[in-house]
Amino acid sequence: MKKLCFVISAALLSSHAFADAGNTYIRNGNVYSHQGQYFAGAGVITGSKFYKGQDHQTGAYLNGGYHGEDFNADLAGINYRFFGDNDSAVNFSAFLVANPGFDSDDADILSGMKDRDISGDLGLNADLHLGQGTLSSKFQHDVTGVYKGYQADLTYYHPMNLGFADFVPYAGVHYFSKDYVNYYTGVSRSEAKVHRPAYQSSGAFSYNVGYALVIPVTKHLDITQSTGYSRLGSNMGDSPLVNSNNQWATSLGVNYSF
């Protein structure tokens, strides 16, 4: 699948690996379970067009890795909790994640533009546990020298046990720095055309809501479903490359833990 809605994948949908109903937890701003086990997952994801004339909106995804007490590594990123434990009110973690790039043939509007490279961010996270919910904050900065900016995020998660499944609604706000906005959604003068005017902007917010749902099938096998919606701020949504300020994505998959 070619870079389906990279903003959504970065800011809307967390990596999910669930256990029996009632055993979900939030760590480093992600929904995890099966602590101390490896997992493999696959499914289908579909969403709105991020770029105008985007070629692909639906595709398969794969995930897998290890989720431990402090160390977690999967295809969505790597993080390590260096302060706090499972009983602490506050946890601090360091993490490393990637931001997808794009090729000029991924969407009609991108034709003739320079490809944008994959970038990597190093960040810090603080999780504040508030009763059943968790308020998670993140700050991350590009360490690959690709877009040379930063991102910040504040999201509240509220895991609930429905008996037959776990339901985790969330709501939050994400900030993209000026450098990020202009690298991934800006248009330089050399790239400008009649239907694609030059565009440079400042930092932008996105406002995100969504949920994750898991239905345990066996001790090791879970069915997962998640949906997220994002409202992009005008500094990003007004780009001539962006199809709409309103972005959504939904996925359906299975996870196996061992």
Asked whether residue 44 is domain-assigned, the answer is yes
pLDDT (tens, 9 = 90+) of the chain, 258 residues, equals 344 444 444 444 444 433 345 577 899 999 887 889 999 999 999 999 999 999 889 999 999 999 999 999 999 999 999 999 999 999 999 999 999 988 999 999 999 999 999 999 999 999 999 999 999 999 999 999 999 999 999 999 999 999 889 999 999 999 999 999 999 999 999 999 999 999 999 999 999 999 999 889 998 999 999 999 999 999 999 999 999 999 999 999 999 999
User: Measured between alpha carbons, how far is residue 212 from residues 8, 110, 120 in Å?
Assistant: 14, 32, 26
Asked whether residue 119 is domain-assigned, the answer is yes
Asked whether residue 30 is domain-assigned, the answer is yes
Picking from 86, 76, 87, 70, the residue whose alpha carbon sits closest to that of residue 17 is: 76
pLDDT at residue number 23: 73
Q: How many CB atoms lie within 10 A of CB 112?
A: 11
Asked whether residue 69 is domain-assigned, the answer is yes
Asked whether residue 1 is domain-assigned, the answer is no
Picking from 3, 8, 4, the residue whose alpha carbon sits closest to that of residue 206 is: 8
Are 256 and 40 in contact by the 8 Å Cβ rule? The answer is yes
Model pTM score: 0.90
Asked whether residue 72 is domain-assigned, the answer is yes
CA 117 to mean position of chain CA atoms: 18
pLDDT at residue number 22: 57
Asked whether residue 97 is domain-assigned, the answer is yes
Which segments within 109-203 are labelled E, that is strand? 119-130, 133-142, 150-157, 160-161, 166-176
Asked whether residue 155 is domain-assigned, the answer is yes
**What's the structural domain count of the chain?**
1
Give, in degrees to the nearest 5, the angle at Cα 42 between 80 and 102: 75
pLDDT at residue number 34: 84
CATH classification of the domain holding 168:
2.40.160.40
Q: Supply the range of the domain harboring residue 145.
A: 6-257
